[in-house]
Structure 1
């Protein structure tokens, strides 16, 4: 499959918004699985099952464990689904204004050469910290059909080269801890993990239940 990377155009809007929504929300399942399979949650689920069995027979144990699993899934779903909802009403509503209006900002899409179907996207926004100018990578999404083709690497390199040409000192990005493939890709390209945090758009207790952290990475250029 031949793929090309080009700048975003207005006719791409709905396809890009759909790709963004699908790409982010597909992390709900893996984050739920990651949380429930952790040693702490396995022990807690076992404890709930035993407690429920002792108090109200086997059915009671099933109810307690199912209720706990439902709460974990709800928190994982809210983390990603609410993020998508918020972004679709903000920067993803007017991509031209948010990512294309300034010379040092840009939004790219990847498309198949044969059909012109959009299968990937990435953006960068120029930031400033005192005298330092750097780029922040946003909205990296690759469709499931084109993963493991090197497209993620190509799109990241596009951002790095764009920022280097404009004299920026580094590129930073944020991703979630459950996106292990993305983290591995960035590390392969020379990005370093600089910090993690858990303060997001959902309540602190929900973030604790999901066991998800936001990972900040950067690469000097």
Structure 2
């Protein structure tokens, strides 16, 4: 594996970071679609549409109905993730330093290759406070597809945990989508526990239901 270093974000990183962020989020569109379409409910529904279409207009009718249904599911999955990218680029990712580095207990890191200085990962943390405690919320965790299964994800999560512990926080929380099974497995391996599932989304509720995606909220005491 390539030698990597994790350092604080700098303004010249912005273009590469935004590109990596967009690619990292949008690559979940297809897994979201296949996860939904392969569910028992959707398999039965697709079969029912196929039979109905065949009875009404033979093979062409079956093809039209099933293709139309699959197209709707894909559109909803695409909108779920594409809207998230679009909204993020207009808000917190528009000015990363202001959003994630203006306060001493917030930070945004990038991982880069030592040899080339290419940014291949990112993660951020924002300090939060409730009635009982201060804690950190992990955001924007992205690992380049070329660097998966190299241990980089674990290193970046450890960076967040160590940072929050040094600043006297009691816990780190995060939210990820239910379709990101590799990320969820990584967080579980590192001691995060699933505390609840949240159905809130930036798209219409009926569209979110079609995607069969929920937000998995996890936390780890430190």
TM-score between both structures, scaled by the size of structure 2: 0.99
Deviation track 1:27-47 (CA, whole Å, cap 9, x = no partner) reads: 000000000000100000000
Distance 1:57 1:185 in 2: 47
Task: Find the counterpart in structure 1 of residue 44 from structure 2.
Answer: 43
Distance 2:201 2:213 in 1: 10
Q: How does 1:102-117 map to 2 (within 5 A)?
A: 102-117=103-118
Counterpart secondary structure, 2:117:
coil
Task: Find the counterpart in structure 1 of residue 76 from structure 2.
Answer: 75
Q: Unaligned regions of 5+ residues in structure 2, if any?
A: none
Counterpart secondary structure, 1:91:
coil
Counterpart secondary structure, 2:93:
helix
Deviation track 1:74-93 (CA, whole Å, cap 9, x = no partner) reads: 00000000000000010101
Distance 1:199 1:153 in 2: 27
Distance 1:22 1:146 in 2: 14
Task: Find the counterpart in structure 2 of residue 62 from structure 1.
Answer: 63
Distance 2:48 2:207 in 1: 21
Task: Find the counterpart in structure 2 of residue 98 from structure 1.
Answer: 99
Counterpart secondary structure, 2:200:
coil
Counterpart secondary structure, 1:77:
helix
1:131: how far off?
A: 3.8
1:198: how far off?
A: 1.1
1:57: how far off?
A: 1.0
Residue-pair matches, total:
221
Q: How does 1:1-221 map to 2 (within 5 A)?
A: 1-221=2-222
Q: Unaligned regions of 5+ residues in structure 1, if any?
A: none
Distance 2:113 2:175 in 1: 27
Distance 2:66 2:76 in 1: 16
RMSD of Structure 2 on Structure 1 (CA):
0.5
TM-score between both structures, scaled by the size of structure 1: 0.99
Distance 2:45 2:201 in 1: 25
1:199: how far off?
A: 1.3
Counterpart secondary structure, 1:116:
coil
Counterpart secondary structure, 1:201:
coil
Structure 1 ranges of 4+ moved more than 2 A: none
Distance 1:21 1:170 in 2: 28
